[in-house]
Amino acid sequence: MPAHITTAPPTVHTALLGLGVYRPRRVVPNSEIVERIDSTDEWIRTRSGITARHWAEPDETIVSMSTAAARDALSAAGMDVDQIDAVVLATSSQMVLGPSAGAVVATELGMQNTAAYDVSAGCAGFCYALGNAASLVRAGQARNVLVIGVERLSDLLDPTDRTCAFIFADGAGAAIVGPAEEEGIGPVAWGSDGSQTDAIKQDKDFQQYFGEVDAALAGGQTPVRPYIRMNGAAVFRWAVTFLETACKDALAKSGVTVDDLDAFVPHQANSRITDALIRTLGLPDTVAVARDIAETGNTSAASIPMAMEELLRSGASKPGDTALLLGFGAGLSYAGQVVRMPAIA
């Protein structure tokens, strides 16, 4: 190796050092939704397990929610912003192509010249970002990394869409990843299946939409904006048949079994998918299972950190517990890892 190039520091262990979340102020019960989608509270509960969700008000933006969650994560970790070397933010609902939300959040937090970028991996986004962050720390590219999962999916919902309007919601979760004496974040097991793109996607791209706008205006009509659409049956079939392998891969990579787990934190997509995974994996009754979907809905990239926080806040899990995380969704993509549960503020 040329003398002027130095090698990276030796690999270090990593851990989740602190966790924070932000839940929007507005709580939306099923009763506010059922009439527009010609449904009932019982149907929504039976299909998804959801009783209510949080939708952001105009002042609760991707940046403001991320910043609030990040401040709580820093507090839980006992850190200042100047100790963070990079920000990795996962979202699928940032309504501009640039700048990255991560860069704006870093500045809002008072960081100077901090590396920051966004990850778009749908509901697997937080686990993808967590895998990125752990690799940065292990490689010596950063000492501490702020990881954020955040969504304002209410911006992308057709309020009359029976398949989506009752499921998706808003919120943010953040975690600090840094060095540790013992490994606290296992190797990520991840992948994607682009053949399943139609299962969850935006129904038209913006180039198509702009063309429709011109045509609609010329004809005195109102253009129909892009919305997120989902084939729930296709997602369910893929999840219950494929994700067992993903979970077992994540466990094997970390050298643990289901009997070693204290908690299971799957993406909060649907309570029936969670139930199917519990049965398929043969999880012991002693494992605490995240059920945050009931009051929070499906918050995509924010889902897993928010569900982790609920388990910790409720006392169902505690810092240091061994937990299996599993994110899955649009792409279709998936990612999971075994972690030690962090502290909360």
First-residue to last-residue Cα distance in the chain: 46
Question: What are the structure tokens assigned to 234, written together?
Answer: 């296709």
- Is the bond leading into 332 cis (omega within 30 degrees of zero)? yes
Identify which of 307, 297, 342, 343 has the alpha carbon closest to the alpha carbon of residue 327.
Answer: 307
Task: Identify the active-site residue in 30, 132, 270, 298.
Answer: 298
The answer to whether residue 4 is catalytic is no
User: By the 8 A CB rule, do 261 and 297 touch?
Assistant: no
Task: Identify the active-site residue in 123, 127, 164, 247.
Answer: 123
Question: CA–CA separation, 299 vs 290, rounded Å?
Answer: 14
Question: CA–CA separation, 192 vs 162, rounded Å?
Answer: 27
Question: What are the structure tokens assigned to 36, written together?
Answer: 């527009």
Paired with 228 in beta bridges are 202
Give the 3-state secondary structure of residue 108.
helix
User: By the 8 A CB rule, do 8 and 143 touch?
Assistant: no
Most distant CA pair in the chain: distance in Å?
70
The answer to whether residue 298 is catalytic is yes
Supply the Cα-derived Rg of the chain in whole angstroms: 20
- DSSP character at residue 10: P
The answer to whether residue 132 is catalytic is no
Residue 254 CB neighbour total at 10 angstroms: 21
41 in the Ramachandran plot: left (φ > 0), alpha (ψ -120 to 50) or beta? alpha
Identify which of 57, 59, 37, 58 has the alpha carbon closest to the alpha carbon of residue 48.
Answer: 37
User: Checking DSSP bridges between strand 115-119 and strand 86-90, what pairing results, if any?
Assistant: parallel
Question: What are the structure tokens assigned to 202, written together?
Answer: 């935006």
Residues with Cβ within 8 Å of residue 99, at least 6 apart in sequence = none
Task: Identify the active-site residue in 127, 132, 247, 267.
Answer: 267
Active site residues: 123, 267, 298
